[in-house]
Each structure stands twice: as C-alpha cells, then as structure tokens.
Structure 1
Amino acid sequence: MNHAKRRLPPARERILQAADRLFYADGINTTGVDAVIEAAGVARMTFYKHFKGKDRLILAYLNGREVRWQALLDRCIQDAGDDPRARLLAVFDALKEWASSQSRYRGCSFVNAMAELAEPDHPARTLVTSYKRALRDRVFELAQATGTADPELLTDQLLLLYEGAITNRTFGHVTDAIEKARTTARHLIAMA
C-alpha cells in the first residue's frame, strides 16, 4: 500500500497558527519566538524569512484575528436578515459565537495586546486602535439604520455593553454575560 505523505500547511501558515494559539493562550510578552518556532515545526531561518522579527509576527497575528472576526461579524449581520434592529443585535450574536469558539476564552485579543504592549509607539497599538474604531463605525452605521434619534448615544451604550460582556465573560463574574448583554442591548435598541 502506498500511503501518501500528509501535507503540512505552508510554513508561514504554521507559524501564524502557532502564534495565534500561543499569543492568545499564554500572552504576547510571555511567548518567545523560540516557542513559536518550535510549535510551528519550522527552522529559525524560515521564521525570519517570513517575519523579520516578533513585532511583525504580532501584527500578522492581530490582523489574522481581525480578518476572522470581520468575516464572522459580516455573516451574523447577513444572517439577521433585513430588520435593522436584528442586524444591530447581531454584533452580540457574533461575539457569543466568537467567545464560544475559543478553547480557553481569555477575552479580547486586541485589548490584551494593548495591555501587554505598553510602549506608546508600538505599531500594534495603532493597529488595535484602528480595529476598535472600525467596530465603532460599524455599530454606528447599524444604529443609524434603526432610525434612532441619537445613533451616537446608542452606539456608545452598546459598545459599553459589548466590552463589559467580554470582561465579565473572561472573569466569570456574570453567568451568561454575553447573552445578558444582548438582552440589555435589545431593550436599549427598543427604547432608542
């Protein structure tokens, strides 16, 4: 019998997968390049061929998470149909699905990165700020579509719920934090 060799993903993809697992589970600062190289099963030279250093890997890691989050958010909004209120609530549906898909939920990878990368000029901080701004813009756009009198206020309220749900889900202080935040969001949207 001829057994075909199992094809591994390309080296760059393996490095990103390893970084994603390790950075999220163990933290960016505590995960060294050597641990990523070992987990990816690549040579040091291969790592540096694809990423000139850890900072570039961090940016690629965050970008990969943002791309996956945006795809999930887009799908949940699409699945919500044409009702503007349901589409706005879909932000919480996406959050719940995202949190449930993590083997060990550690909160928002972007907030975690901001906390870990304290240097004000670290390029990841600019990236994370732009991602959070894009989420705010998206929520504002969805809030406007509901016809609310004050979409700015509704956006602020929903984002406070969103971030609070993440924190409470992470620490386990509130049972079913995301679902409770969604219920509160539904009430806010109805009153807006």
Structure 2
Amino acid sequence: MSTQQQPARLRLLQAADELFYGRGIANTGVDAVIERAGVATGSLYKNFRGKDDLVAAYLADRDHRWRELWETCIDAEADPEQRVLAIFTAVERWSSTTSLSRGCAHVAAATQLPPGHPGVTVVADHKRYVVARLAREVAAAGRTDADVTARDIALVYDGMLSALAVRVEPDPVGRARRIARGLLHS
C-alpha cells in the first residue's frame, strides 16, 4: 500500500515517529508532522486532540510495535534463558529497520515532556511492561528472585540503549547480552 493510500492516522503516526524521534518532540511542531504525513491539517485534529495527544499516541504505537517484535523473538526461543535474552535479539532486529541513534524513544521523550503530560504515562507504562515481561521469563528460567533480576536486566537494557545513542561502546547489544546472561547465573 503506497503512503498516500494509508489512512491519515497511520501516516500521521509514521511521520510523528520519524520526526519526534529524529528531531525531538520539543523541536517538532505539528505543521512539520502534517507536512511529512501529506495530510490536511483537519486530519490531525480529526484523529488527535492536539500535539500532546499525538505525542502520547506516537509513544503508544512505538510501544505496541516493540512488544509485537519482542514477543516474536521470545516465541522463537525454546530455551528459558534464551527467552530472557530475546530482548536483545529484538533490539538487533529493531535496529535493522528503525533508528536507535537517540537511544530509547521513551526515555528521550520523557526528558522533553513536562510532568503530567499524557506521554509521560505512556513512557512509565512501557518501562513497567519491560520489567514485568522480563520477570515472567526470568521466573520461567528458574530464578527465585525474578523481580530483582528482571529489574537488573532492564537497567542493563536501558544502559545498552543509551550506549547505542552515544556510540562509545563498540558492541553495546553483545555486551548487554553477556551482562544479562551473567545476572541469570549469579
């Protein structure tokens, strides 16, 4: 389906994803999103209440796409330890089609949004989900301290995303995977 044949809401979300992540939320006005999406101004306001709503929807959409990819990577693994480490496989796959030059989109957004912004709630929900989903897999891998280990791995995951953004670590994904494997065996 060509871009012009996609529904306006989808085109707006794709444009928001590209521009909010690449340029920053604070640096991107709705006019730029509308122009990139190739829609009329009314389409934005028909689909979203305004920029704040668009930002929250962009973050929720990115979270949804991430969860789908991560679940696919988890489901591809039979070994319980590899199912935990599938979060890193998902990052490798994600980065093959989506830029990670600014690290985690949710953290990048959180640094730009004021307290109480609807996007901050989406960010917090995303981060809680990552820990909860890891905890289920860590427990299935036999760890009795699954919540603690999942939080530790989530911090490694967030650090890896930061390392991808600043580009000082030659292999942040591989290193994060090794550290997480060590946490599973500690």
TM-score normalised by L of structure 1 = 0.90
For each residue in 1:89-129, what CA deviation from the matched residue of structure 2 results, as whole angstroms up to 9, or x when unmatched?
11111122223322462211100110000x21111111211
| Cα contact 1:16–1:60 (8 A) shared by 2 | yes
Matched residue, 1:162: 157
| Amino acid in structure 2 at the alignment position of 1:150 | D
Deviating beyond 3 angstroms after TM superposition, the runs of 4 or more aligned structure 1 residues are none
Structure number with bigger Rg: 1
Change (3 A) 1:173 1:46: same
| Cα contact 1:96–1:179 (8 A) shared by 2 | no
| Amino acid in structure 2 at the alignment position of 1:154 | T
Q: Distance in 1 between matches of 2:45 and 2:152?
A: 44
Question: What value does the CA root-mean-square deviation take over the aligned residues?
Answer: 1.7
Matched residue, 1:85: 81
Matched residue, 1:123: 118
Contiguous gaps of at least 5 residues in structure 2: none
State the identity as a percent: 42
Q: Distance in 2 between matches of 1:46 and 1:159?
A: 38
Among candidates 106, 125, 139, match of residue 134 of structure 2: 139
Matched residue, 1:188: 183
Query: How far did 1:22 drift?
Result: 0.5
Alignment map for 1:1-192 (pairs within 5 Å): 8-81=5-78, 83-103=79-99, 105-117=101-113, 119-189=114-184, 191-192=185-186
Contiguous gaps of at least 5 residues in structure 1: none
| Cα contact 2:80–2:140 (8 A) shared by 1 | yes
Q: How many residues align?
A: 185
